[in-house]
Amino acid sequence: MIEVDVEKRLGSFAIDARFAAPDSGITALFGRSGAGKTSIVNMLAGLLRPDRGRIAVGGELLFSSADGVDLPPERRRLGYIFQEGRLFPHYSVRGNLTYGGGRGGSGIDFDAVVTLLGLNALLERRPGDLSGGEKQRVAIGRALLAAPRLLLMDEPLASLDAPRRAEILPFIERLRDELRIPIIYVSHAMDEIVRLADTLVLLADGRVAAVGTVEELTSRLDLRPLTGRFEAGAVIRAVVAGHDVTYGLSELAFPGGRLRVSRLSLPLGTAVRVRIRARDVALATTRPSGISIRNIVAARVVEIAPDRGPVVDVRLDIGRPEQPVALWARITQRAVHELKLAPGGEVFALLKTVALDRSSLGQYDPAGAAFGEDEAG
């Protein structure tokens, strides 16, 4: 278990944050700029001393103001990956990886890390000859070779363009799935959170607003100011249930139905999360026919947001009675009135296949799935 309970005043800004996270998977700290995300990570790392509090990882105290414990950074056994790689320019990639005598530990050795991160062809090159994505892969490798019990990643993709971000994301997924090293991941990009994170910690003004699964917190109306209204939506757990080779599509099964998405290079039975934005969902009171939309799902209206503007968010349940699955639709107030929508009403949710691109999908540990592979067909 990762336990954080800290207070710190930085000028006029005060941090008063407490949360507990599992010592497996990826825990994401999410919030707007200035919410205190990096300061909390720096307190975990020992780079910033709390005014009061307690920090423990795996049952070991790293900091306790009550007990007089404050382990220096080098004794905390935490790997830190910054926004920029911070590599030594006069060392080769090999030299950067092995700096400080890093030879791996806890089952991780040099060759395994190099292979995992695809660094074999880069070992003799200097940082100045690397792309931004390659530099971050080297920085991740250097942190791994220090045999950390926890990785801290402070917006590691923020300085990269879209192609480089797409290059790095699969490597972070491999760290999570293959090495099983817990990760605290700081980001303000919801697409990264959906694809990578297991646990979500929402921060606002130096305080923890909520802690829970990605699916739970992204479906809560009261958290929309923090998760972002324009990009707001729901996250649904599903499994890959089939592939349509002819038309380049894949089918994802979830409790209550199936979704068609662009073809995924994933084996059948792979557990995935699907992020569906509210603005990509339309509603109908009768099942439409003769339209291009391939995803038409029966739904029940659960909640209508009390918004007073021209548009409103409608919360739906598209699951089974024993396994509810939340979905949000953003429609106009006029549509709510003309369709006579009210909680308990039956509707059909319409979702374009092309709205579910790779950035809307993330894999997760199937052990936490609410239904099994057999149900995927």
Residues in the chain where the model's pLDDT stays below 50: 103-106, 367-377
Give the three-class secondary structure for 135: helix
Question: d(Cα 256, Cα 371) in Å, to the nearest integer?
Answer: 11
Q: Which residues contact 107 (CB under 8 A, 6 or more apart)?
A: none
Tell me which CATH code domain 2-227 carries: 3.40.50.300
Measured CA to CA, the distance from residue 215 to residue 254 in angstroms comes to 13
- pLDDT for position 70: 94
**Sequence letter at residue 91:** Y
What per-residue string of b and e applies to 84-118 under the rule 16 or more CB within 10 Å gives b? ebebeeeebbbebbbeeebebeeebebeebbebbe
> How far is CA 157 from each of CA 33, 134, 168, 202, 309, rounded to the nearest angstrom?
15, 12, 8, 19, 35
Global pTM reads 0.78
Q: Which residues of 335-365 are buried (b: 16+ CB within 10 A; e: fewer)?
A: ebeebebeeebebbbbbebeebeebbbbbbe
Sequence ranges of the domains in the chain: 2-227, 233-376
| pLDDT score, position 53 | 95
The CATH class of 233-376 is mainly beta
pLDDT at 168: 83
How long, in residues, is the chain?
Answer: 377
Q: Could you tell me the two tokens for 195?
A: 């694809």
pLDDT of residue 377: 32
pLDDT score recorded for residue 103:
45
Look at residue 39 and give its three-state secondary structure.
helix
Q: Which long-range contacts (CB under 8 A, 24 or more apart) does 96-103 make?
A: 96/127, 96/138, 96/142, 97/123, 97/138, 97/141, 97/142, 97/145, 98/145, 99/142, 100/146, 102/142, 102/145, 102/146, 102/147, 103/145
Q: Identify the pLDDT of residue 265.
A: 85
The whole-number pLDDT of residue 31 equals 87
Per CATH, 2-227 and 233-376 having the same topology is answered: no
Q: Tokens 């802690």 belong to which residue?
A: 211
DSSP state of 129: G
Residue type, 121: A
| CA gap 175, 161 in Å, rounded | 21
